[in-house]
Amino acid sequence: MRIVVKIGTSTLAHPSGHLNIRRVESLCRVISDIKNAGHEIILVSSGAIGMGVGKLGLREKPKDMPSKQAAAAVGQCELMYIYDKLFGEYHHTVAQLLITGDDTANETRHQNFINTLNRLLELGALPILNENDTVATDEIVIGDNDTLAAIVAESVRAGLLILLSDIDGLYTADPHTDPDAKLLHRVTKIDGAIRSLAGVSVTNQGTGGMVTKLRAAEICLRCGCDMVIANGNNPANLYDILDGKPVGTTFTEKCL
């Protein structure tokens, strides 16, 4: 199966902005194993700005655009260095693709991007994507990696998109404050009732939150790609998802 896995900043980094080494090592090991089992994997990784903040020793995430873009430029190098090192241990070759909204809106550029991705997969490489934060401005920004991951999944006709976040999935109420909050295991349609739950399942460090995850689910359901929101704190969740075990929230139109 062709699978897109999106890794959020909160999965990669401690709240301090520094790398969560244990988590990332285990994530790269599990993803390498899944790739060894014969699946095609594309990663969409956040964390460039977060890593840049840590590496530059800034006290907090900057608010102005040039500083955010500078942090992303530093952090993106750090991210790819880590991925190259860890996936290299399992003999997987990583490739970096940085794209903007323009690259998906313009037909020629979009096709070039799809061709490159497909060729990388044919060559057995592991493509790792992020938005090109250093040049993305208001007009061409995709804005969040949940949407980017769904656009990628649609573009390469992936069978599954997995969004790894700091929450178990979509809840009926805020699980931090409401003991009766229930995790929804399966959603087949994004309607008003589901959208109204976006505000209650709050995520912490990342850019998107549940609103962008539901937007990603809409894109996926439209093109027949299943999508799962799962907690990235346990990378072994990825095995369970592929084994069809109930992990997180699955968005699918397929019958059980």
β-partners of residue 42 are 4
Single out the residue of 20, 32, 46, 201 in contact with ligand GLU (rule: CB under 6 A).
46
Contact region for ligand GLU (CB under 6 A) — 13-21, 86-94, 205-213, 245-253? 205-213
Query: Considering only 13-21, 32-40, 106-114, 200-208, which stretch makes contact with ligand GLU by CB under 6 A?
Result: 200-208
Least distance (Å) from ligand GLU to the CB of residue 222? 20
Helical residues (DSSP H) of the chain, grouped into ranges:
9-12, 21-36, 48-56, 65-89, 101-105, 107-122, 145-155, 192-195, 210-222, 237-242
Strand partners, 139: none
Please tell me the distance from the alpha carbon of residue 42 to that of residue 45, in angstroms, as a whole number.
Answer: 10
208 contacts ligand GLU (rule: CB under 6 A): yes
Binding ligand GLU (rule: CB under 6 A), the pick from 72, 117, 120, 161 is 72
Residue 218 CA to residue 252 CA, distance in Å, equals 10
Helix (H, G, I), strand (E, B) or coil at 199: coil
Q: Which amino acid is at 170?
A: L
* Footprint on residues 120-149 left by ligand GLU (CB under 6 A): 130-131, 133, 144-145
| Single residue of 5, 9, 41, 127 touching ligand GLU by CB under 6 A | 9
- Write down the least CB distance from residue 70 to ligand GLU, Å: 12
Smallest gap from residue 110 Cβ to ligand GLU (A): 19
What is the C-alpha separation between 103 and 109, in angstroms, rounded?
A: 5
Return the residue matching tokens 């550029």: 109
CB closer to ligand GLU out of 80 and 247: 80
Could you tell me if 133 and 65 are in contact, meaning their C-beta atoms sit under 8 angstroms apart? Answer: no
Return the H-helix or E-strand segment holding 44: strand 40-45
Between 144 and 154, whose beta carbon lies closer to ligand GLU?
144
Of 169 and 206, CB closest to ligand GLU = 206
Amino acid making up residue 64: D
What is d(CA 51, CA 20) in angstroms, rounded to the nearest whole number? 11
Region of 16-24, 40-48, 102-110, 162-170 interacting with ligand GLU (CB under 6 A) = 40-48
Measured from the CB atom, the residue of 39 and 55 that comes closer to ligand GLU is 55
Q: Quick one: tokens of 62? A: 């900057």
Q: Which residues contact ligand GLU (rule: CB under 6 A)?
A: 8-9, 46-50, 72, 130-131, 133, 144-145, 206-208
